[in-house]
Structure 1
């Protein structure tokens, strides 16, 4: 499962490299970069709660397979459009929406399936390992994407992504699933309400959901607007863009390794908040930096902080959720976590032309620092939240 996901995620970042660069090349407008990210995440906002309900009443592996088929088809459609020299911006935007639709059902299914493949005491390690493969792909994907883009052209970037889905499809067919949810005739809205009620009843869980939204809203848009920074600040091209992406991905791997090494320490909630402070500071520094080596260091730190904080919060949530409620609760958490990405991207896409990339991006970092400080000072339920021993057993 790890190998299949890694291969597929590498393909995703190969396509993302070409897609972001082409959208900005075709439009010369940062708003369309934000719009592309927004449309890719919009279905997740609209449908992931429904996906969570289905993940608690259907075979999660079959749901994941359907999601992979949809995403693979979109990659090959985009390949065909490039081969025919018919591609337009609206094609890319539309296919991003369809990919997001597949992910809105695949995401909750994956979040619910992963804990059934490992013992509870190894769950934090499994989450950290997943983070490592994701961010290893963030390093290898842009590198391979840059090579493919320069030597073969953008068409092959999309084709390689389509082929990469075969790896995760084969892995899903090979694994042995030990838990299949019981079928239910309960109304979808009632099932959603049960999941939301569980979150409200558990101390600190609702605060973690809100913090996840704030983190992605203010801290996850940096890499999405790198083409603007590369062009306007450093006056560079694809190689500079590739370098910054690789530094960000390398930092994320380091962040995931730190989480894997420190998972049994007390006060994980407090550590997550301190990590978010580092993230806000790194983003603010990156916004004002005009020296490429310093920017590489700062984006490395931001990548490490993003992955460490996200892994810590996710492992805390996963460890206190019962198996019967896992799909619904994780769909709410994933919705909050992922909803911030398109909203933050769309907001930055509008603010950058008005205030400039430095002020808009720096403001995001400062706001993230302010939100985190308020949690540290006012909301002790998160700062003291940690892995419950009775659930870990």
Structure 2
């Protein structure tokens, strides 16, 4: 007899500490997506009529990602050496103050393109350090048997806020300007601190909290983490290489949405927010299904196929001018990105030892940080050619790489 699977989404919420880290992640991710929308449109406003406007708009996403190349590995070591809660609270406090200060700089008319880029760089330092640590705190808040469900339910905050942040930000921007977007971002960072304060970490490894911190030991810890990943988690290492496809070659499509909205769809910031929100909705649906019914087996194959379809969708967006189809493509793109990241994340959380967890997650963020290079190249090529040509090239490159993994990497394809 056919039995309807039990919905598991709320299982991890039975744990008090998990509720705190989930709420903190929700606020931090909402701030991130609100920030991405706001900074992109502020740059468009400041560079209106400039010949290199496209380069500067997409460069914002690159500036946010750039610190991950240098800070990401260091953040991984810090997250495995120091009290993870304290690090997250410290970083969120700095961002709250910075967002509030930027709001008044913009309000008083002193903002320029370099100020925006400086703020984006600071936000990138925060995100490349804080996100892997927050993800590791998920595993410290629940027993091992709940780990897969806890991670996928926590990932719900990413596409969910990708929908909510731009939606609210687009409305605020069109009605009141960007000043209140930045103030709302500051409030969200303060809420991260408030939610982390009462949280405990009963399931953290004993040697992962407040170990002796010596600068001289950072390089050794980094190398140790890389050796662990390369020798003992080889399939995860290969999947991290595959992650260049959706995260580096395809994801800049979202940075191009302000340009796509204005030049192709002939709409403003409010519709730009709705379009980015559709990406969040697609991801939210995918993650909800995973959190409700679990991530299926053959997770390696799922990663390959989601990367492949992300390339197909990127290529397709450059060929459409009808708004409903563009919303559908951007929404399905959210499904693919969230599917890849969730499948990869569940494997990382369940396979990696806690004392290596933040370093492993940081290696993944390190690879994602190469989006800064792809973003600047894409921005230059868009100025030199056209948006349609660049999207076609991005998608085709992703299709070729993903197909290579599909046909020639049996260890990834057969990973349970």
TM-score (norm 2): 0.88
Kept in 1: contact 2:245–2:398 (CA 8 A): yes
**Residues 36 and 2 (structure 1), Cα distance of their counterparts in 2 relative to 1, 3 Å cut:** same
Judge conservation of contact 2:262–2:268 (CA < 8 Å) in 1: yes
Match of 1:277 among 308, 322, 333: 308
Task: Say if 1:282 and 1:302, in contact at 8 Å, map to a contact too.
Answer: yes
Please state if 1:374 is matched with 2:374. no
Partner of 1:39: 63
2:93–2:190 CA contact under 8 A, matched in 1: no
Q: Distance in 2 between matches of 1:356 and 1:333?
A: 31
Aligned residue for 1:224, secondary structure, equals coil
SS at match of 1:221: helix
Q: Could you give the per-residue CA deviations for residues 1-55 of structure 1, whole angstroms, max 9, x where no partner exists?
A: 2223223432333333222112012114011122221121111110111111111
2:350 corresponds to 1:330:
no
Partner of 1:390: none
2:218 to 165, 168, 188: 188
Cα distance, 1:83 vs. partner?
A: 2.3
Distance of 1:260 and 1:244 partners within structure 2:
25
Shift of 1:224: 0.8
| In the alignment, structure 1 residue 365 sits paired with structure 2 residue 395 | yes
- C-alpha contact 1:287 1:361 (8 A) present in aligned 2: yes
What do the CA deviations read for 1:175-195 (whole angstroms, capped 9, x no partner)? Answer: 112224351457211111110
Contact preservation (8 Å) 1:217, 1:340: yes
* 1:139 counterpart = 2:167: no
Equivalent position of 2:39 in the other structure? 19
User: 1:34·1:342 contact (CA, 8 Å) conserved in 2?
Assistant: no
1:141-174 CA-to-partner distances (Å, cap 9, x unmatched) read 1121122112222111101110111211111001
Q: Determine if contact 1:55/1:327 at 8 Å carries over to the other structure.
A: yes
**Partner residue in 2 for 1:67:** 91
Between the aligned partners of 1:77 and 1:310, the Cα distance in structure 2 is 33
Equivalent positions of 1:1-393 (< 5 A) are 1-28=21-48, 29-178=53-202, 179=204, 180-181=208-209, 183-184=211-212, 185=214, 187-201=217-231, 202-261=233-292, 263-336=294-367, 338-386=368-416
**2-side partners of 1:325 and 1:15: how far apart?**
30
C-alpha separation in 2, matches of 1:264 and 1:241? 32
Contact conserved, 1:218 with 1:340, CA < 8 A, in 2? no
Structure 2: give runs of 5+ residues left out of the alignment: 1-20
Superposed displacement of residue 262, structure 1: 5.2
Supply the distance in 2 between the matched residues of 1:131 and 1:260 (Cα, whole angstroms).
9
* TM-score, structure 1 normalization: 0.93
Aligned-residue CA RMSD (Å): 1.7
